[in-house]
Structure 1
Amino acid sequence: MDKELKGILEVISKRVKTMELIMLIYFYLSIVGGVIYFFVWLSEILSG
């Protein structure tokens, strides 16, 4: 019983860590994408 519970907890913690990693990657990608989009938009306005 105790071993099973520990195994389940380990699996859950591993999944949580992967989810956090995926969320962080999405977060950074959206920031980078936003910055790139902003610079493209800015250059279009400056070039007229």
Structure 2
Amino acid sequence: MHPSWQTNFAAKSYSDEAIAKLKESKDLLDLGLMEEADYEKVKAELAPVIMGQ
């Protein structure tokens, strides 16, 4: 496997996991099972991962 391919795959995997976690958190928020402040905290933590920063 080419090293840059491995890096891109790992980054994509982390991004996919972060997106899934954010969507799950949004669902919980929409269902009234999570507070807005908690959702915003999760979103702030995951956004850099999703955006590749």
| TM bucket normalised to smaller | 0.5 to 0.7
- Offset of residue 13 of structure 1: 0.1
Tell me the number of residue pairs that the alignment of Structure 1 and Structure 2 aligns.
33
Kindly provide the amino acid, as one letter, of the partner of residue 25 in structure 2. L
Structure 1 ranges of 4+ moved more than 6 A: none
**Structure label with greater radius of gyration:** 1
CA RMSD of aligned residues (A): 1.6
Partners in 2 of 1:9 and 1:24 — Cα distance? 22
Kindly provide the amino acid, as one letter, of the partner of residue 26 in structure 1. L
Superimposed CA distance per residue, residues 18-44 of structure 1 (whole angstroms, 9 cap, x where no aligned partner): 00000000000000000017xxxxxxx
The alignment status of 1:15 with 2:11, answered yes or no, reads: yes
Identical amino acids, percent of aligned pairs? 0
The alignment status of 1:29 with 2:22, answered yes or no, reads: no
Structure 2 gaps, min length 5: 34-53
TM-score (norm 1): 0.64
Higher relative contact order at CA 8 Å, sep ≥6: structure 1 or structure 2?
2
